[in-house]
């Protein structure tokens, strides 16, 4: 049982808090829009009025925000997480951000006598709820060992991958495959559909075939009907693809399928689908194929 703080109660963050509460942890949380977190307060989460208030009251503070800019917004300044840290405390950032930005925050955290690990996750709302989420962790091994039991209350597998920033690098390398797989899946569905096979049948066969990765199995059916609330929208997915492409440029690793898939995400933005789940790459390709959803 731990005193845990959590900043950023979006689709994934809020359900992580719900899971921590169910495991008996005391959780204090903050979100930019309080109304979105009221259901967690009703479940027993305490509310804080700032990220600083969260880290002041917690032994371990976690955060999950959209990008590097948002990370700086919640960590820096007089009301930021870093301002509330002190010796012995640990900060765990679950966000997918630029690795250099994550390392820069870790330096500031250590200046306060605390320590930080980056710990992004692989999975979705479904895998989180089902207890199948995985986590990768970057930072000092001794800090990893301290927070590992807590992280295992969120994810079924927690792996230390190296120093600060390397878990984020691993997450970016993982995420590029999500959109690439989704585009390949869309190609297969549309080829089958235009040959005379119903879309529903094609989805059923493909998701249960050798290509049916966990991601394809839970997101493939989105080509039949998109979720009301995007699990991971076009904007978020393209942010990760651009991070991957920048890493590829810096490390001299060509990423041809990532580059092509990124263009389909750009097309989705141009078609006004930025807030939809990134599975709408199917709609982009369908439109190019003369097929309607």
Of 3.40.120.10, 3.90.1640.20, 1.10.1040.10, 3.30.930.10, the CATH number of 169-288 is 1.10.1040.10
Question: pTM for the whole thing?
Answer: 0.88
Instruction: Find, among 238, 250, 281, 260, the residue nearest to 67 by Cα.
Output: 238
Angle between helices 99-111 and 68-75 (to 10 degrees): 10
- pLDDT beneath 70: ranges in the chain: 1
pLDDT at 261: 98
**CA 137 to chain CA mean position, Å:** 14
Angle between helices 234-251 and 166-194 (to 10 degrees): 120
Q: What is the pLDDT of residues 45-57, one digit of tens each?
A: 999 999 999 999 9
Instruction: Find, among 74, 47, 78, the residue nearest to 62 by Cα.
Output: 74
CATH hierarchy code of domain 3-163: 3.40.50.720
pLDDT at 127: 83
Residues in the chain: 293
Exposure pattern of 121-153 as b/e (b: 16+ CB <10 Å)?
bbbbbebbeeeebebbbbbbeebbebbbebbeb
Q: What is the pLDDT of residues 87-96, one digit of tens each?
A: 999 999 999 9
pLDDT at 194: 97
Query: What is the torsional sign of CA 13, 211, 217, 226?
Result: positive
Q: Could you tell me the residue ranges of all domains in the chain?
A: 3-163, 169-288
């Amino acid at each position: 049982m731990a005193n845990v703080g959590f900043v950023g109660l979006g689709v994934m963050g809020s359900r992580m808090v719900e899971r921590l509460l169910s495991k008996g942890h005391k959780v204090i949380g903050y979100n930019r829009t309080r109304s979105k977190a009221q259901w967690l307060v009703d479940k027993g989460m305490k509310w804080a009025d700032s990220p600083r208030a969260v880290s002041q009251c917690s032994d371990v503070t976690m955060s999950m925000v959209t990008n590097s800019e948002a990370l700086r917004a919640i960590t820096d300044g007089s009301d930021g997480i870093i301002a509330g840290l002190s010796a012995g405390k640990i900060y765990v950032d679950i966000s997918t951000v630029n690795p250099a930005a994550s390392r820069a925050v870790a330096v500031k955290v250590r200046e306060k006598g605390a320590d930080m690990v980056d710990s992004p996750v692989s999975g979705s709302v479904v895998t989180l709820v089902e207890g199948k989420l995985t986590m990768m962790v970057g930072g000092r091994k001794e800090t990893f060992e301290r927070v590992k039991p807590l992280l295992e209350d969120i994810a079924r597998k927690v792996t230390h991958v190296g120093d600060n920033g390397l878990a984020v690098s691993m997450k970016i390398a993982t995420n590029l495959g999500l959109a690439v797989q989704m585009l390949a899946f869309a190609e297969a569905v549309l080829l089958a559909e235009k040959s005379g096979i119903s879309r529903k049948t094609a989805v059923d066969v493909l998701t249960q075939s050798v290509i049916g990765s966990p991601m394809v199995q839970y997101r493939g059916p989105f080509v039949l009907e998109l979720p009301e609330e995007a699990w991971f929208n076009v904007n978020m997915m393209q942010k990760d693809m651009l991070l991957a492409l920048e890493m590829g440029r810096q490390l001299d690793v060509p990423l041809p399928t990532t580059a092509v898939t990124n263009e389909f995400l750009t097309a989705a933005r141009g078609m006004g689908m930025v807030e939809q789940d990134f599975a709408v790459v199917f709609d982009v390709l369908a439109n190019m194929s003369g097929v309607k959803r």
